[in-house]
Structure 1
Amino acid sequence: MVLVDQQAGLAFAAGSADRQVLRSNAVAVARTANAFGVPVVASTSASKVYSGPLMPPLRAVLPEVTPFERRNMNLWEDEATRAAIVAAGRRTLVVSGLLTEACVSFPVLSALVEGYSVHVVADACGGLTTASHEAALRRMEQAGAVMTSWLQFLLELQRDWTRHETYEAARGIVVDHGGGYGIGLDYARDMIHPT
């Protein structure tokens, strides 16, 4: 899992979706990574002068993750960040972040060139405008990235609601971040196991 610049200063600039929803989706992605033991690499940029640190709800979910601070837009060109990704030993990357047009798309395109399989959690990425966000998503997809959502990412890992070892964590993420689906899971539990 690669979290790119999930920082408040950049969220202010994201006009492609509701900022609260973007933050909630990013937290759902981070919680999913934790629930399923997916290694997480996070990056920040200009954290002292503009963008701020990794957003507090993400820091709360990922207390052991220290974001890599970098100067260039493409984290793939930052030696420390790229080394951490390579050291994780995974050839499939799941990426979310801000802003879609540059800080997300540039490393995605670079990783694809190097033979990585890359999935972009589109609803946990934000761009300046809806049109520019969508154009960046299309560009990454045309280059070979797979577009997904935070919920699809979680459900692909869970695969079956009878997988007991991850059920409660996965269910809790959906209840907290899944809108009507989460409400439905609570309703189903109340109907099956009334208090």
Structure 2
Amino acid sequence: MNNQNYLQRCGALLSAILVASALLTNAHAVEVNSALNKQHELTESTKLSSAKYNLDPKDVIFIFADLHPDLIATSNTMSPDALAKNAGGLAKVAHAISAPSLFLTVPRNGKPGELIKELKPYANNENTIYRLNADPFQVNEIVDAIKKTNRKTIIVSGYTAEVAVTLTALGGLRNGYNIYIPVDCIGNRSLRTEQAALARAEQAGAVVTSLASVAAQLAPDFSKEPGTTILSVILDAQL
């Protein structure tokens, strides 16, 4: 009986040791997985943070929203002529670095609005999208077109700042894109509401910048193409 009790106790002790060992192994595995997940999150966060300061020509897509002659004619924060020239300059930058552009239009007098003449050399049936929804990221055709580029940084030009630009920026951020807004490539009827719109976009994570800064980052070597073209855009930019 004593031997039997002894063996039973030894068996119970061994079982307890095995259970404890399994629990410790499990806990260690959880800790390792947690550490790996945190490292992955940190890496992804670093990538996103880095993208806010480094523009890669192979990762950018340009969106030009609602730049119609009759619309921008009401711009008060930037003259219509200056806005048109700078938007055209930005489109020229995109073309020079072979980056994709999307031209978004809205109804004007019951039909798709006509683009300003400065954008027409770069627009075609494939990259021009007519929409009825003010938020581009609620339009499947636009969302799909952006996804197909496999690019994660969007540079936004448009009118008005408080609608087309803001909704494009917030929609992009919501969907995991990096957003740049060159302020001399957008316009608005009211300076006060434009400033509020830009503050909201910046608070959400957008980078508020300028045509010259964006252009120079994308092609900093002005001694050869595409930098030579980029420099001409910078020199022609309207302040």
| TM band (smaller chain) | 0.7 to 0.9
Task: Tell me the secondary structure at the aligned position of residue 156 of structure 1.
Answer: helix
Match of 2:148 in 1: 87
SS of equivalent to 1:57: coil
1-side partners of 2:159 and 2:92: how far apart? 18
Which structure would you say has the larger Rg?
2
Unaligned runs of 5+ in 1: 181-195
Match in the other structure for 1:37? 98
Is structure 2 residue 188 aligned with structure 1 residue 120? no
Match of 2:79 in 1: 18
Q: How does 1:154-165 map to 2 (within 5 A)?
A: 154-162=215-223, 164-165=224-225
Q: Specify the code of the residue in structure 2 equivalent to 1:120.
A: I
Match of 1:131 among 181, 186, 192: 192
Q: Tell me what 2:170 maps to.
A: 109
Gaps of 5+ in 2: 1-61
Residue by residue over 1:57-104, the C-alpha shift from the partner in whole angstroms, topping out at 9 and shown as x without a partner, is 210244576410000111111111111111111011111101110111
Q: Is the partner of 1:135 in helix, strand or coil?
A: helix
Deviation at 1:166, TM superposition (A): 1.3
For 1:174, the equivalent position in structure 2 comes to 234
**3-state DSSP class of the match of 1:120?**
strand
Residues 40-49 or 136-145, more deviating: 40-49
The size of the alignment, in residue pairs, is 178
Q: Is 1:150 the equivalent of 2:211?
A: yes
Cα contact 1:158–1:167 (8 A) shared by 2: yes
Structure 1 position 49, deviation (Å) = 3.0
8 Å contact kept, 2:220–2:227? no
Report if the CA contact (8 A) 1:17-1:130 is conserved.
Answer: no
SS state at 1:17 partner: coil
TM, length-normalised to structure 2? 0.69
TM-score (norm 1): 0.84
Q: Do the aligned partners of residues 122 and 65 (structure 1) sit closer, same or farther apart at CA in structure 2, a change above 3 Å counting?
A: farther
Once the two structures are TM-superposed, the CA of residue 52 in structure 1 deviates from its matched residue by 3.0
The AA in structure 2 aligned to 1:122 is: V
Change in CA separation of 1:76 and 1:16 when aligned onto 2, cut-off 3 Å? same
1:51 CA drift (Å): 7.5
Q: 1:93 to 1:158 in 2, by over 3 A?
A: same
Aligned mates of 1:45, 1:2 — CA distance in 2? 14
User: CA 1:58–1:90 in structure 2 vs 1: closer, same or farther (change >3 Å)?
Assistant: same
